């Protein structure tokens, strides 16, 4: 929670991947605190739906159709957010997926490139698009969703994805340290398995194995990640930047 009451009121967050899962849950948490939410997603209908939900709470919201793999599309989303609300105080980069699960020797160039285009290039484009604005307005906070997979390497099913998320952790650290003197904080979150539509590509066997491997014996809820995003963006978290934080029910995911 923030140190200052109403800290988030009338501030603005831009969230990629906001039509579903962690992005959508975080959109609702920021709306609960009175923030405007720019709902950016490649799923136009889903973005409209979530923006409608937020507007229904009385907060400002704007749906933007955005493909994070496309730099121009990301730049347009940032401009649209600034056009609607005047500034972007926070950015959550949540758009991401492994694409499909695959053993290492089955990962072809197309899967490798798609995974990196979405998970790495996407975060790269989003941070490059928002940073000049944040610096111009005197500061801001960026939170990138990585994955605990980056620490385990994803053996047997998602080395392509784990490697991409490792790049997100490293890129976040570099940006945080490069822009620390311009009022910018950047952090990443490395969740264990979270109960979202993301697991449509996970087999029942993999889901059972992941659950069994978590000491709490359950998947996390998307809201349990969103509340951490809120804390990270708040004035109660001002000495924290660069690092990744693991949220995983005690570890696991062999
Ligand atoms: N769910 C998990 O177990 C888990 C664990 C660790 C990390 N993560 C990470 O958390 C983040 C959010 O995942 P989630 O579980 O909420 O998944 P999700 O599938 O529920 O949501 C992902 C959203 O990203 C959007 N998206 C996909 N490609 C896009 C693109 N090119 N441009 C813009 N938007 C795009 C989708 O339309 C969707 O709305 C991802 O980065 C994922 O890698 C998830």
Q: Report how far residue 176's alpha carbon sits from residue 162's, in angstroms, rounded to the nearest whole number.
A: 21
Cβ-contact 31, 90 below 8 angstroms: no
Which pTM value belongs to this model? 0.98
Q: Residue of the nearest CA to atom 25 in ligand 1? A: 17
Q: Which numbered atom of ligand 1 lies nearest the CA of 191?
A: 6
Out of 7, 161, 239, 246, the active site residue is 161
177-206 residue pLDDT tens: 999 999 999 999 999 999 999 888 788 998
Beta strands in 122-193 (DSSP E): 140-145, 184-191
Pocket of ligand 1, beta carbon within 6 A: 16-17, 19-23, 41-43, 46, 66-69, 94-97, 118, 145, 147, 191, 193-194, 196-198, 222
Environment class of residue 89 by beta-carbon count within 10 Å: exposed (0-12), middle (13-18) or buried (19+)?
buried
How far, in Å, from the CA of 83 to the mean position of ligand 1?
A: 26
Starting from the edge strand earliest in sequence, which strands make up the sheet with 244-247, in order? 61-65, 36-41, 12-16, 90-93, 140-145, 184-191, 244-247
How far, in Å, from the CA of 97 to the mean position of ligand 1?
A: 5
203-231 residue pLDDT tens: 899 899 999 999 999 999 999 999 999 99
226-239 residue pLDDT tens: 999 999 999 999 99
Q: Please name each of the domains of the chain with its CATH number.
A: 12-247 (3.40.50.720)
Mean pLDDT of the chain: 96
Q: Report how far residue 150's alpha carbon sits from residue 12's, in angstroms, rounded to the nearest whole number.
A: 30
Q: Read off the tokens for 217.
A: 């014996």
Q: Is 161 a catalytic residue?
A: yes
Q: Give every CB contact of residue 53 below 8 A, 6+ residues apart in sequence.
A: 28
Angle of helix 122-136 versus helix 159-178 axis, rounded to 10: 20
How far, in Å, from the CA of 4 to the mean position of ligand 1?
A: 31
User: What percent of the chain is modeled with pLDDT above 90?
Assistant: 90
Give the model's confidence band at 254: pLDDT under 50 very low, under 70 low, under 90 confident, else very high.
low
82-120 residue pLDDT tens: 999 999 999 999 999 878 999 999 999 999 999 999 999
Torsion of Cα atoms, 252 then 228 then 90 then 195, to 10°: 50
Give the model's confidence band at 45: pLDDT under 50 very low, under 70 low, under 90 confident, else very high.
very high
How far, in Å, from the CA of 215 to the mean position of ligand 1?
A: 24
């Amino acid at each position: 929670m923030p140190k200052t009451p109403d800290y988030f009121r009338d501030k603005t967050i831009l969230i990629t991947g906001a039509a579903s899962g962690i992005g959508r849950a975080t959109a609702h948490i920021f709306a609960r605190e009175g923030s405007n939410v720019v709902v950016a997603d490649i799923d136009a209908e889903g973005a409209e739906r979530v923006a409608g939900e937020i507007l229904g709470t009385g907060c400002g919201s704007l749906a933007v159709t955005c493909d994070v793999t496309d730099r121009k599309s990301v730049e347009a989303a940032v401009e649209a957010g600034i056009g609607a609300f005047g500034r972007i105080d926070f950015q959550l980069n949540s758009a991401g997926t492994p694409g499909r699960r695959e053993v290492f020797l089955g990962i072809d160039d197309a899967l490798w490139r798609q995974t990196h285009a979405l998970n790495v290039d996407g975060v790269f484009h989003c941070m490059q698009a928002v940073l000049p604005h944040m610096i111009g307005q005197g500061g801001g906070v960026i939170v990138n969703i990585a994955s605990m997979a980056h620490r385990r390497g994803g053996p047997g099913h998602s080395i392509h994805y784990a490697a991409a998320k490792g790049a997100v952790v490293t890129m976040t650290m570099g940006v945080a340290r490069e822009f620390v003197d311009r009022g910018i904080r950047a952090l990443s979150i490395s969740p264990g398995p979270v109960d979202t539509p993301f697991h449509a590509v996970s087999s029942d066997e993999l889901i059972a194995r992941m659950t069994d491997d978590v000491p709490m014996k359950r998947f996390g809820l998307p809201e349990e990640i969103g509340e951490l995003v809120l804390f990270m963006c708040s004035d109660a978290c001002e000495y924290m930047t660069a690092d990744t934080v693991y949220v995983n029910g005690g570890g696991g995911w062999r």
